[in-house]
Amino acid sequence: MRIGALSEATGASVATIKYYLREGVLHPGVATAVNQSEYDDSHIRRLRLVRALADLGRLGIADIARVLDAVDDPSVQLHDAFGVAQDAMVAERPRDPQRYQAALIEVDRFVKRNRLHIRADAGVRPMLADSLVFLEQFGWGTDSTMFDGFVPPLVQQAAVELASVPESADRAEQMEASVVGTVAFEVAANAIRRMALEDASWRRFGPGRRGRRRATPA
């Protein structure tokens, strides 16, 4: 398969494929001449993975490159896959150092209290700390115990998701599955959470309790 065919097969323009090649998110094909290379199924799959991370996960190309480096690095153990992939997915944020430090400490307490095995330098810690900072600013308090209720169900979910990663498949496939699963299930979980919120809001504040239902009035 040459670049034109790869483009046809994936929907990405030739120019975009060249760009991805340049940025290192797509491995080069086998060169058959100075201006000719052969691509295969691995390129189609990789291209799909890149699109998934970009469109669904809203990752930038540079972040995707970092995730894929981990996916392709044979020295990264499977048990680190989720962690490494996720670290590359945490966006840097502008922070208020004061509140942020305090929040980080609170996160540590949260992790310890819930007996979670999380690396000390895992990117998810800052992530949770950031949300704490914002909740605090809007009057939700600083206490991480408000999250404790979320843990058991999410642990259960995680177990279900992990079970979908076949233990028998080869490392590359497992890594890929980890990454896709992390992103896709995150979006799904967010969607369902929002649905639950809309549903709950309807039950609490809905038509039965106050006035009429009015979706988008003129």
Partner DNA sequence: CTGCAATGGAGAGTGACACTATCCATACCT
Partner DNA sequence: AGGTATGGATAGTGTCACTCTCCATTGCAG
Interaction residues for DNA, span 18-37 (CB under 7 A): 18-19, 21-22, 28-29, 31-37
Partner whose footprint covers residue 3, from a second copy, DNA, none (CB < 5 to 8 Å by kind) = DNA
CB closer to DNA out of 37 and 114? 37
Is 163 strand, coil or helix?
Answer: helix
Measured from the Cβ of residue 166, the count of other Cβ atoms closer than 10 Å reads 10
Q: How far is the CB of 117 from DNA (least distance, A)?
A: 31
Q: Name the CA dihedral angle for 118, 85, 181, 104, rounded to a multiple of 10 degrees.
A: 40
**CB of 143 closer than 8 Å to CB of 103:** no
Does 60 sit near DNA (CB under 7 A)? yes
Q: Residues of 67-93 as b/e, b for ≥16 C-beta within 10 angstroms?
A: bbebbeeeebeeebbbbbbbbbbeeee
Can you tell me which of 32, 77, 101, 142 binds a second copy, judged by CB under 8 A? Answer: 77
Site string for a second copy, 88-117 (x = CB under 8 A): ---x-xx-x--------------x----xx
Does 5 sit near DNA (CB under 7 A)? yes
Does 155 sit near a second copy (CB under 8 A)? yes
Is 38 strand, coil or helix?
Answer: strand
**CB of 85 closer than 8 Å to CB of 71:** yes
Location of structure tokens 């990454």: 179
Is 212 strand, coil or helix?
Answer: coil
Q: How far is the CB of 90 from a second copy (least distance, A)?
A: 9
Does 122 sit near a second copy (CB under 8 A)? yes
Question: Given the rule CB under 7 A, which residues bind DNA?
Answer: 2-5, 13-16, 18-19, 21-22, 28-29, 31-37, 54, 60-62
